[in-house]
Structure 1
């Protein structure tokens, strides 16, 4: 059984969320304060039987901004469950919440209590006089209703029974967790849970205890131990006298299986360590160890008849992990066999996460986050989905995390646009959360499908060349050119434009646009550093003139372009970025793009 749909209304930053989830691992991504932890807590409010009643009683601050709870309002969280057909224990759990074959829905709601609702209904109480103390929570089936349409005064279905809900196991790992301490403490250690799941027979338990008792008897015979006991008894007698004296021995107390389980600890051996305490390990490996043990607990529980669903909620499982280990751990979570919902800030993780298993939260200026599963909300067909999954490597998946996005063709723009914008406009793109991302080509349409109403609702602007495409650039280098004078993809890209996506193209190409009178000093310094003496001399001569004709500017531009191609455009831009403080011009199309994406 797994959660296939989640609806959240009026809860903190998540004012109106309705998403479909998949079995296996789901990655929640988004900037800070976009609602990732809120989403995990919402799931616990519905499904976690171990959550206290006090925690379920919410406060005024739990309502979304703009929702006035002095008037009748509600916070509603609903989950749809599926995959329980032909599983007796799971069918028994959800039978009272079933809405159709193999689908059940459970709802948490925080709304005015019975007496407050009655007072508002009969007019004995003003609908604007409510206090947070008048609100109460309930947990029940949705009664076949659409959770997006349930009103605050609608009645729900059968209430949830907590004795049944206990069969649904939820484990939550918060971001600031101390796994080292949890591994050491029997109450929280997965080792204790694994011992419980081992389901040892009484004969097996007694066999282990017999071994401990025999060891204890042998220990007591040792002279060191007996002498130590005698010295303690003698000292006690001198301290308290005959009247308060009592017997003292040194040894191991008569063991029970519970005390044995509490005494067992993990011992690690690695890189020169032999049977060492986990504290000798690094934080990252201990984190991986902890998660792997939890996965084993989940796997062993799957075979038990009294388990009706399992869910692991984990914040930032990549904490302290090397990038390659991040991929390995997340790949293991993907194949764990249980549903896992994890928040992450790692591009290494999102680069291997399928789009259908990725939920993107985007904070907007109203303090309400939008939420989308790209493969569904962005209307991608299977081919587009596969294309994007291939494109979204660790570098380009940054666009899923940034507040705003500037997409460019290559590394030339990545190296040079940010310092030029900072120098000429005084705008630090990085500080504003605007990512400049190279897609290494002109296939912008694949990304343009993401940024739309109902998709990823944050601004993305494409900055592209206007006269060259990958097919014609090689021809241009050989002396040919793009005969029709335009990038063939721009017209198609323009059709994707909307409130969150825009395309801005130059007249020619990036290097030619940079070759203006105001930038000659920067370009000359770049050519000199690269050892392009002829180009540097040409630029120095042009810089000495008070003005340049269009023909002269074209000649300068071609010289700059040839030099960039000779040394590599990315290398040329990388060196030029060092001299960005010498630039006096910013191409108008770049300035236009920056203004739009910040708007």
Structure 2
């Protein structure tokens, strides 16, 4: 038995989200703040019996922040279980324990936590006349969290992620329309807490490893104490008597030690001298308190560990952070093994961000080796090392979309062969792709090196700061990766950047052409044909998909780079490519020429001579803030990242003004005037359209205007 789906409605940073899981090992990945910890909290509320009863009383902070007003709304956390076994005890759990009234054995079942207003509040809303907002406000405004209740239901058919169904049951607050009913069959059967699924399953949660040394010092959180407590309960009292007798004998020997008896006598005499016989204790002795019972004796044990083959063994507090975390994780896994041995109907292990302070090789090995039989394991992580060894079909990606956190299943709707292809590609590019807010797919090393450098020089911020990952496919087979970005899978924007490879000179055959010219034209025509066919293929692939779009260089990145006015940067690398002075001079004249054949042929020759990747590195080193970004790259950037925050724009404007001041291009009074307006924009008192218009007027020759024109 395993969780096949978990949905959350109005819970913390999830407005309405579904996670899909498989049996075995699952991975939930995403950047910080996307809700991985909240997902685990939701699962624990359903399955973790160790949670304190107060945890089920949710509060205002547990409601989704996107709600205009939480009062009256419901929080719903629902788990769907699959592969329910035919075992009698399991069927009893889901036939009776989750409210299934069917006579036939069930294969799937649901278990829900619903946090809703009490019945008297729901009855008041049900009695409202449609549209009577004043009466609705009179009911909702005085509500406090004490007017809410937590109920558990099973075998429900309600899909609260459907907005229409949510409104039909909970209510339409915008239009003040509520059902006349207060209870709905779709919610399933109400379950008393004592019949909860949590009592029938083995469940362990290993929290994020942040300060495990403190946990070892905390009796309640110390994983070693938990293990010892479990084992002490299994001790044979008769067999343990020999050790208990030795402890009692040791206690007596310590108490009778001459120095101990002397101190005891001195204490008695001193107190009598101070307050007299009448006010002195009737009895006062120093006693050894070594525990004689198994439980207390086991709890007094401590763990000592040696690192890196050293003979010295120290306490947990003496270990490195990574060493302490690894020990903590080991003990928690052993605790799970002990619980699993109790033959529960299902086993669940949640491991939250295990990567903290642990070496990358250990992260990969840990993930690869943790695969307990009959156990569903769910990792949350933002480790690229763990994501690299995860299976795409057992993965959920959490991300933000318009302020909401959502879950994406990258393999959803794909054929098995497509999943295999995606898995192979992700093995090499996954580290950036899965954690990005948006993606640029490029075909080669030149684009991978030059595009980030161009953006950084012009905007003053990098792709990482914008949340954009640039992925080098190292081929033109973009579809194998781009198919991940889709309404059914990852709802993030992806720009495909490729070359049309159109000829930049006349390729018409001429009888006057020598052999080398004939070959050159033939290759150019073949590349042009291939580029045109690639455009047809990629455009058809992206058609109808709002998350993917295509962008093309007319020729190649290198040729288009010079074409838009970047000849000075190209000239700057001539000395790094050529040694011969005449060749250097010829190359300079070619690059500065207006003849597309001359500068195009020269830049490609230089790139081939140095190696495209190395040439891109050399070229990136010659860039400055005057560089021109080819239009197709700006279009790709704008599609992938259509909304730039106010603060980011402020930083971009500030960067460009500082450069202008450094070169004394614009009058100081003009700069100061615009800076004042920029502060107004930062405060929200000036619209973006106005600030970019004023910037263009004040700094008409600034390269950033080419970017601003697209936003």
TM-score, reference length from structure 1: 0.88
> In the TM superposition, what are the counterparts of 1:85-100 in structure 2 within 5 Å?
85-87=85-87, 89-95=89-95, 96-97=97-98, 99=100
Residue 384 of structure 1 aligns to a residue whose secondary structure is helix
Q: What is the CA distance between 1:219 and its match in structure 2? A: 5.2
Matched residue count: 580
Q: What is the CA distance between 1:313 and its match in structure 2? A: 2.8
Deviates more, 1:23-32 or 1:440-449: 23-32
| 2:241 aligns with one of 191, 206, 214 | 206
Q: Deviations over 1:183-221 (max 9, x none)?
A: 344432222333344433323443443443455456567
Residue 135 of structure 2 aligns to a residue whose secondary structure is coil
Tell me: CA distance 1:588–1:144, structure 2 relative to 1, closer, same or farther (3 Å).
closer
What corresponds to 1:118 in structure 2? 123
1:157 aligns with 2:157: no
Residue 495 of structure 1 aligns to a residue whose secondary structure is helix
1:567 aligns with 2:610: yes
> In the TM superposition, what are the counterparts of 1:187-586 in structure 2 within 5 Å?
187-198=220-231, 199-216=234-251, 225-241=257-273, 243-244=280-281, 246-249=283-286, 251-271=288-308, 272-305=310-343, 307-335=344-372, 337-365=374-402, 367-376=403-412, 379-393=413-427, 395-425=429-459, 428-467=462-501, 480-481=523-524, 483=526, 485=528, 486-487=530-531, 488-497=533-542, 498-516=545-563, 518-530=565-577, 533=580, 536-542=584-590, 548-550=593-595, 553-581=596-624, 584-586=627-629
Residue 431 of structure 1 aligns to a residue whose secondary structure is helix
Q: 8 Å contact 2:15–2:404 — kept in the other structure?
A: yes
Q: What is the CA distance between 1:382 and its match in structure 2? A: 0.9
Tell me: CA distance 1:207–1:161, structure 2 relative to 1, closer, same or farther (3 Å).
farther
1:13 aligns with 2:42: no
Looking at structure 1, the residues matched to 487 and 434 of structure 2 have their Cα atoms a distance apart, in angstroms, of 16
Deviates more, 1:172-181 or 1:518-527: 172-181
Give structure 1 regions of 4+ aligned residues with deviation exceeding 6 angstroms.
476-479
Residue 627 of structure 2 aligns to a residue whose secondary structure is coil
What corresponds to 2:150 in structure 1? 137
Q: Deviations over 1:69-90 (max 9, x none)?
A: 5674322111012344244554
Q: Deviations over 1:386-414 (max 9, x none)?
A: 11111113644311111111111122212
Q: 8 Å contact 1:538–1:556 — kept in the other structure?
A: no
Q: 8 Å contact 2:94–2:106 — kept in the other structure?
A: no
Q: What is the CA distance between 1:106 and its match in structure 2? A: 0.8
Looking at structure 2, the residues matched to 142 and 26 of structure 1 have their Cα atoms a distance apart, in angstroms, of 24
Residue 140 of structure 1 aligns to a residue whose secondary structure is strand
What corresponds to 1:25 in structure 2? 25
Tell me: CA distance 1:33–1:479, structure 2 relative to 1, closer, same or farther (3 Å).
same
Q: 8 Å contact 1:465–1:510 — kept in the other structure?
A: yes
Tell me: CA distance 1:410–1:426, structure 2 relative to 1, closer, same or farther (3 Å).
same
Looking at structure 1, the residues matched to 230 and 83 of structure 2 have their Cα atoms a distance apart, in angstroms, of 24
Q: 8 Å contact 2:203–2:336 — kept in the other structure?
A: no
Looking at structure 1, the residues matched to 265 and 190 of structure 2 have their Cα atoms a distance apart, in angstroms, of 62
Q: What is the CA distance between 1:467 and its match in structure 2? A: 2.2
Looking at structure 1, the residues matched to 214 and 459 of structure 2 have their Cα atoms a distance apart, in angstroms, of 50
Q: Deviations over 1:218-262 (max 9, x none)?
A: 6567xxx43244234324422345532634345343522121121
Looking at structure 2, the residues matched to 207 and 336 of structure 1 have their Cα atoms a distance apart, in angstroms, of 39
Tell me: CA distance 1:457–1:477, structure 2 relative to 1, closer, same or farther (3 Å).
farther
1:597 aligns with 2:640: yes
Q: What is the CA distance between 1:35 and its match in structure 2? A: 2.2
Q: 8 Å contact 1:464–1:504 — kept in the other structure?
A: yes
Q: What is the CA distance between 1:515 and its match in structure 2? A: 2.5
Q: What is the CA distance between 1:439 and its match in structure 2? A: 1.7
Q: 8 Å contact 2:449–2:617 — kept in the other structure?
A: yes
Tell me: CA distance 1:382–1:229, structure 2 relative to 1, closer, same or farther (3 Å).
farther
Please identify the structure whose Cα radius of gyration is greater. 2
Looking at structure 2, the residues matched to 21 and 396 of structure 1 have their Cα atoms a distance apart, in angstroms, of 20
What corresponds to 1:43 in structure 2? 43
Residue 317 of structure 2 aligns to a residue whose secondary structure is helix
Q: 8 Å contact 1:396–1:439 — kept in the other structure?
A: no
Deviates more, 1:211-220 or 1:52-61: 211-220
Which consecutive unaligned segments of at least 5 residues does structure 1 have? 469-475
What corresponds to 2:678 in structure 1? none
Residue 136 of structure 2 aligns to a residue whose secondary structure is coil
Q: What is the CA distance between 1:115 and its match in structure 2? A: 0.6
Residue 343 of structure 1 aligns to a residue whose secondary structure is strand
Q: What is the CA distance between 1:68 and its match in structure 2? A: 4.5
1:127 aligns with 2:140: no
Q: What is the CA distance between 1:53 and its match in structure 2? A: 4.3
Tell me: CA distance 1:292–1:230, structure 2 relative to 1, closer, same or farther (3 Å).
same
Q: 8 Å contact 1:523–1:539 — kept in the other structure?
A: no
Q: Deviations over 1:275-311 (max 9, x none)?
A: 3212222212222222222222222322214x34333
Looking at structure 1, the residues matched to 29 and 223 of structure 2 have their Cα atoms a distance apart, in angstroms, of 27
Q: 8 Å contact 1:237–1:245 — kept in the other structure?
A: no
Residue 108 of structure 1 aligns to a residue whose secondary structure is strand
Q: 8 Å contact 1:10–1:64 — kept in the other structure?
A: yes
- Superposition CA RMSD, Å: 3.0
Residue 139 of structure 1 aligns to a residue whose secondary structure is strand
Which consecutive unaligned segments of at least 5 residues does structure 2 have? 171-181, 503-518, 643-711
Q: 8 Å contact 2:25–2:376 — kept in the other structure?
A: yes
Deviates more, 1:455-464 or 1:33-42: 33-42
